[in-house]
Every structure is written in structure tokens, then in C-alpha cells.
Amino acid sequence: AEPLGIWKLSGPAATRLVPQLERLGALRSAEPSRSRDALVRFTDPLATPELGYHLYAVGADQAEPPGPGFPITVLDSGIDLFHPDFAGRPDTIALNPQSVDRDDQDTYHGTTVGSTAAAAVNGVGAEGIYPLARLRTYDLADLSDSSVIAGIAAAVKAGPSVINLSLGGSSASRAEYEAIQFAVGSGSLVVAASGNELGAGNPTLFPASYPHVLTVGAVDREGNSSVFSSASPAVDLVAPGEDIPLQNPTDADLFALESGTSFAAPIVAAAAAWVRTVRGAMSPTQLADLLRSSATDIDAVGFDERTGFGLLSIPAALAAPIPRNDPQEPNDEVRQVIAGGLFRAAKPFVASKFAAALDATEDPADVYRVSVPKNQKLTVRVTPTADVGVLLLEPGTRPGSSRRIAVSDRAGRGVETVTWTNRGRGAAVIYLQVELGSRPGGVANPGYAVALTRARAPR
């Protein structure tokens, strides 16, 4: 570093020159060159292999976490920003005022979630999966749909991030669903806890069961599915969710151990932000698929409703091939592809040939805009790897509505073909919809290839 007046010398050269420079009065200082760690991890008291087992279970000890990068946004009961794990923590942004009562376990839920994801390495308390993450927090006034929607809107306004939702209920909300799809379409990955209702009838829970949500179940210290962890086709993967430590905010000798899928979700959310930071730009769908495909299969062979595709593995996600992008997601319905629908701009018209994929819970249908010149006959051939149905739709009388004009839904994996002729006075915009059939045949993420041709229509 010559401009700074700093030089590095070999051992023999330093032994010879340092005394000479000192005699000449030309030496400011001399010191050995020491190795540096980007982050001295697993030194906080609650990060030992016994207390912080969850860090090791997902491989956080096998890779160096990056510096601040793709953000994590926690929508919860707020974070105690004066807690030892957060006091003075850089890159911690409150998107609204945080109202936390240290004597109220419910309002401290968000602090535990935030600590699990991103607690600082500072010699006290716990360590997060991604300690240097850019952490955003939004305090939900309550757990109502309207509060969650407001939180998602604030998260989207702040910019793309991994949004953690350690909450849920048994009632679906159209408005909440659309807010989540808007977040995904705006570049954010939404991660949700699967729920703790396995022993209470195992109801379908939301937002865990919405499409395009990465849903996380819980496992115990031994890697077995937690007895409380809700099971469903929507579960994507699992992470430790039992005995997750949280430092007492006022007594360094005390800590709590928390259990629930609420604390498995931020482990995955933090890992997602870590992987996204290290591996660079990718869509939320690609990031979710990467975490699912690189998970370590446990329990039943292959996908199962208790553990999804398996246990989160950070090292595997850092090394696995990035899945192919499906650039128009979310495009599950007409409203999501038209201008002024869910998004301000329309999705682009599709090319003559393209490929995409479906998923029974995450992506059950795809809709595309197709332009057909006047007096042209459109032919669409869809070659799937599983049973699919293909429809052509024309715009209805209400924005976002549509009417079927052609359908092909053969049993099995055969090629589906639909045609339509534009007899109008000008070019027409119609919609192509590809959806999973009634017998997908157990194919995970069934793919399909589309070929569109246009020819002059016979008179």
C-alpha cells in the first residue's frame, strides 16, 4: 500500500530493515501481519453446539456468512431494538414504531423471530443464521389480515427482500393473497411458518397455503418432524423449531427456549437472504426452488407433507445449480397479467416457443397474453411432462374477467392442442392458460413446452 506509506516485508527482510529504519527515525511502527476472519462466529454464549444446535443442523457453521446484502423483513409483533442482540446492531431498520413489552410473551414473539434470523455476533446472547443481514422490522398492530397487508405494503415500498411471516390462521383472505402475490411480483420471497396445529385437527392454514409462499415446517434436535408441526401439501421444507434460545433482555445469566414453526421460518428466511446475497440476482421463484431442491431429504423418501422436500442445507444451497427461471411469475390468473390488474404494467406477450413449469400448491396455473393479428389462425401445442389442461380465453366485460373460447384436456401426458381464429377487425389479445390436470401422476414441478404458430385463416 505504497500511497499509504505502508509496506509488507518478509520475515528476513523485516529482521534486517526494521532496526535500520528505527535508527534513521523513518519508522512509524512495525507489527506482524495477522490473519483476519470476516466474522468470529459461534462465540456468543447461546451459540454453542448444545444451545445453538439449530445453527449447526442447517450447516451455518460450514460457510462464512456474507456482509449486509439482500434484506430480511420481519412482519411480526415488533423487535426490541434495545435487546442485547440488537442494541447498536448496524443495518437494522424499523419500518414503523416498535411497541414491545418485555413482560408480554406475545409482543416479544417478533424479537425471538428476529434474533433467530439475524442476532448480532457481539459476545452476548444468541447468534442469528445471518448475523450481518440488513434487517427490517414492521410491527403488526395485531394479527389481522389488514395489518399483515399493511406490513407487506411497507415491505414492498422499502424494496425487495425476504419477507418472514411467522403467523397464520384458518381463513383465506383474497386481499392478503393478492398482497403476497404483489410482493412476489415485485421481487420479494415470502416465507411463512406452516403452523403448529397438527394435533388440533391439522386445518389448512394461511398464508402458508397460498401459492408462491415458501412454507416451513419444524423438526426437533434429532431431525424428526416436530409433533406439533402442521402437515400439508404446501410444506416446502423444514428447519429446527424446538428449543431455540433467546437471551433474557435484562439478565445475562438467563435465557428462554422457544418452540414452534414460528422459529423454523426465520431460519429459512435468513438462509434465503444469505444465499441470495452470495449467489446474486435471481427471481423469488428461483430462490424458493433452489432452497427446496437442495434440501436434505428426511423422513419418507421424496416429498412428504410433514417435511416437504427435506431439511434446509445452507452449504447445498450455496453450491447447487440455480433452477431455470420462470420470468412471468406470478401469472396464475388473468388479473395478474393485464395492465392495471394486480400490477400496473401488463406482462409481455409470449414468444413463439417457451417452456415453464407448474406446481400443485405453489403454481397450479399459468396465464399468458397472446396477440393474434386479424384474419389469422392461432395454433397452440403444449407438450407436458404430466397431465395438464390448456385453455384459450378472451377478455370479459369486467376488468380481469375472461371467457373460454377453446379447451383441450386429454387424460395423461399427451400433447394438448388448441386453435382459434381471429375474425375481428383488428389484432386481438387473448389469454393462454395452462393448468394442472386431475391426474398429474406424482410428477414434482411438472414442466411443459409451448409452441405457438399463426397462419392466414382460410376464407
Kindly list the catalytic residues.
76, 109, 262
Torsion of Cα atoms, 73 then 79 then 83 then 86, to 10°: 20
Cell of 127: 447468534
CA separation for the pair 101, 115 (Å, rounded):
16
Q: Which among 224, 257, 256 is positioned nearest to 240, based on CA atoms?
A: 224
Neighbours of 183 (CB within 10 A): 24
Amino acid type, 412: G
Would you say 405 and 393 are in contact if contact means Cβ atoms under 8 Å apart? yes
Query: 32 is written with which cell numbers?
Result: 506482524
Assess contact for 155 and 136: CB atoms under 8 A: yes
Look up cell 501481519; give the residue.
33
Alpha helices in 29-76 (DSSP H): 53-57
* Three cell numbers written together for 31: 507489527
* Helical H segments across 237-307, by residue range: 261-279, 284-293
68 residue type, one letter: P
- What is the DSSP track for 93-108? EESS-----TT-TTTT
Strands (E), 46-161: 72-76, 92-94, 135-139
Distance CA 186, CA 345 (A): 12
The answer to whether 147 touches 141, Cβ cutoff 8 Å, is yes
